[in-house]
């Protein structure tokens, strides 16, 4: 079911266990102190005492928040040595952000938020959006991203960089003409997607917003299940679903606007 703002509401059978886990997940990630902890250890592993000094809270309180973050798999702990003191150094646990952990959280929250998932009488949409806004505001990429849904690259996040980004299937012959750091290159398993050498579609930044244009692909391009005409630019909004090709060999992308450019 599509709402007036272009988002889709997915109503599923109520699963209380999953609902409880998702609610706890949101509680853990939505806490401002925990976000300060993540910011503190985003680039450098640190022990509890160092973290507590930086975020200006007690050792005991910091430890409780760190333990909560460990449960959602966004940080890890490894043995290390303390900073030198008058008594020398000693072994400590040091905590750091797991590579890709923050991106996975943004992806998870973004997917649920885009679909506006509801469970019976419980609407978690506002809470998901609130937590996503906090996390993405601190750690998310600027501009927009495309998240692959389904297939071998399920969950992969492609930042949309520059004024125009080509989207298509991998093509060895295109090496040297395609920028893998900027363009969205999908694996050959998405056989219904036109090769990147003559892109399936392009995503453009235009007038402060975003647009997508089909480039004459065989399988076509659809936005929120509506096929768009070849060569006609169609506006994109946060949460729009872009389908490339048809069937199981096609690709589905969720378009997500993150934080504003600086």
Query: What confidence score (pLDDT) does residue 106 get?
Result: 74
Residue 156 near residue 147 (C-beta atoms within 8 A): yes
Tokens of 168: 């298509």
217-206-130-14 Cα dihedral, nearest 10 degrees: -20
d(C-alpha 58, C-alpha 19), whole Å: 32
Output phi, psi for 232, to 5 deg.
-105, 120
Residue 167 near residue 213 (C-beta atoms within 8 A): no
List, in order of start, the domains of the chain with CATH numbers: 18-140 (1.10.10.10), 142-258 (2.60.200.20)
d(C-alpha 151, C-alpha 208), whole Å: 32
Tens of pLDDT along the chain (262 residues) come to 444 544 554 444 556 777 778 778 888 888 889 999 998 998 899 999 999 999 999 999 999 999 999 998 889 999 988 877 777 788 999 999 988 787 777 777 766 665 555 555 455 667 777 777 677 667 665 678 888 888 888 878 888 888 899 999 998 877 767 777 789 999 999 999 999 999 999 999 888 789 999 999 999 999 998 999 999 999 998 878 899 998 889 999 988 886 554 3
Query: What confidence score (pLDDT) does residue 10 get?
Result: 46
Max CA pair span of the chain:
72
Query: What confidence score (pLDDT) does residue 9 get?
Result: 47
Residue 202 host element (H or E): strand 201-206
d(C-alpha 1, C-alpha 116), whole Å: 10
């Amino acid at each position: 079911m599509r709402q007036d703002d272009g988002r889709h509401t997915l109503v599923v059978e109520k699963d209380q266990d999953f609902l409880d886990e998702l609610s706890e997940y949101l509680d853990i990630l939505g806490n401002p102190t925990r976000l300060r902890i993540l910011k503190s250890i985003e680039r450098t592993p640190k022990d509890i005492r160092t973290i507590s000094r930086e975020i200006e809270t007690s050792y005991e309180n910091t430890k409780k928040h760190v333990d909560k973050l460990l449960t959602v798999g966004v940080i890890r702990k490894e043995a290390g040595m303390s900073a030198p003191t008058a008594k020398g150094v000693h072994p400590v646990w040091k905590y750091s952000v797991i590579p890709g952990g923050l991106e996975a959280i943004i992806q998870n929250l973004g997917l649920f938020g885009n679909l506006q998932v509801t469970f019976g009488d419980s609407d978690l949409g506002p809470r998901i959006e609130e937590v996503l806004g906090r996390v993405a505001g601190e750690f998310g990429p600027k501009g927009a991203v495309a998240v692959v849904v389904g297939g071998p690259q399920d969950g992969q996040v492609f930042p949309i960089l520059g004024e125009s980004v080509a989207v298509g299937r991998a093509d060895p012959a295109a090496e040297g003409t395609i920028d893998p750091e900027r363009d969205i290159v999908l694996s050959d398993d998405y056989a219904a997607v036109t090769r990147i050498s003559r892109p399936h579609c392009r995503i453009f930044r235009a007038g402060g917003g975003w647009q997508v244009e089909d480039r004459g692909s065989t399988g076509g391009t659809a936005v929120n299940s509506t096929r768009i005409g070849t060569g006609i630019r169609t506006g994109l909004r946060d949460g729009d679903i872009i389908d490339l090709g048809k069937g199981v060999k096609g690709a589905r992308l969720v378009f997500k606007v993150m934080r504003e450019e600086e």
